[in-house]
Amino acid sequence: MLLYLHGFNSAPSSTKAQQVAQYLAGHYPAEVVSIPQLATAPAAAMAQIWPMAEQALARGEPLRLMGSSLGGYMASYLVEQLSEAYPDGDIRAVLINPAVRPYELLTELLGDQINPYTGEAYRVEPEHMDELMALDTPLIRRPEAYRVLLQSGDEVLDYRQAVAKYQCCEMYLEPGGDHSFVGFDQQIPAAMVFLGLEPVAQPCTS
């Protein structure tokens, strides 16, 4: 199963999420894909995705994660925690401009918010920062499980934090760009190879 986790104030309808869904439909039609609308509260969001990820591993399936920004932060928690619970499990993650210390960044956004994709009105509460801290993974114990995509022009996150945290992981660092990761669609084929997906053979045509 491939589980895509969108970022803060985003949705399954975001550009990167849809690019991933479309690429998989065209190249890996048999792969089960889930792109859930994550709850606003971090603890509630983790309560959504943890059972999905654990059930895939319990069935003996590979767990393929893709996470953008805050979704990358949560994907890291899943990798580190589930690798301990399922030491023989096939768990890999591609992180796109991942958040490293979102509990610091999001304190600037406490209060009322509106999701631009869904129109949902919600509040960022102080307790959400505690929930985020509980999901922190300051030590990466499974560096081989990650491919990290970074652009130095990220205007939201300091990419150097991710360089430091994931320094032992497979990393693609591109100068310029922005937080959305400009040209992300060009990174999808290599991401799928890293996640262990084999291309579907195309029939020969005369």
- Tens digits of per-residue pLDDT, 134-147? 999 999 999 999 99
- DSSP SS3 for 138: coil
Domain ranges of the chain: 2-194
- Tens digits of per-residue pLDDT, 171-190? 999 999 999 999 999 999 99
With bands split at pLDDT 50, 70 and 90, how would you rate the model's confidence at 159? Answer: very high
150 pLDDT more than 80: yes
For residue 206, the model assigns a pLDDT of: 47
Are 169 and 147 in contact by the 8 Å Cβ rule? The answer is yes
Average pLDDT over residues 154-166: 97
In CATH, which of 3.40.50.300, 3.40.50.1820, 3.40.309.10, 1.10.10.10 is domain 2-194? Answer: 3.40.50.1820
Average pLDDT over residues 79-85: 97
Q: For residue 123, give the nearest of 108, 104, 109 by alpha carbon.
A: 109
Percent of the chain at pLDDT exceeding 70: 96
Q: CA-CA distance, 23 to 45, in Å (whole number)?
A: 25
For residue 198, the model assigns a pLDDT of: 73
DSSP annotation of 148: E
With bands split at pLDDT 50, 70 and 90, how would you rate the model's confidence at 82? Answer: very high
Are 149 and 94 in contact by the 8 Å Cβ rule? The answer is yes
- Tens digits of per-residue pLDDT, 22-69? 999 999 999 999 999 999 999 999 999 999 999 999 999 999 999 999
For residue 131, the model assigns a pLDDT of: 98
Are 4 and 70 in contact by the 8 Å Cβ rule? The answer is no
Q: CA-CA distance, 140 to 76, in Å (whole number)?
A: 8
With bands split at pLDDT 50, 70 and 90, how would you rate the model's confidence at 199? Answer: low
With bands split at pLDDT 50, 70 and 90, how would you rate the model's confidence at 205? Answer: low
Sequence-distant (6+) residues with CB within 8 A of 100 are 73, 157, 161, 162, 165
- 40: tokens are 């606003």
- 163: tokens are 């360089």
Q: Output the CA angle 144-145-147, nearest 5 degrees.
A: 90
Average pLDDT over residues 106-131: 95
92 pLDDT more than 80: yes
DSSP annotation of 175: S
- Tens digits of per-residue pLDDT, 97-118? 999 999 999 999 999 999 999 9
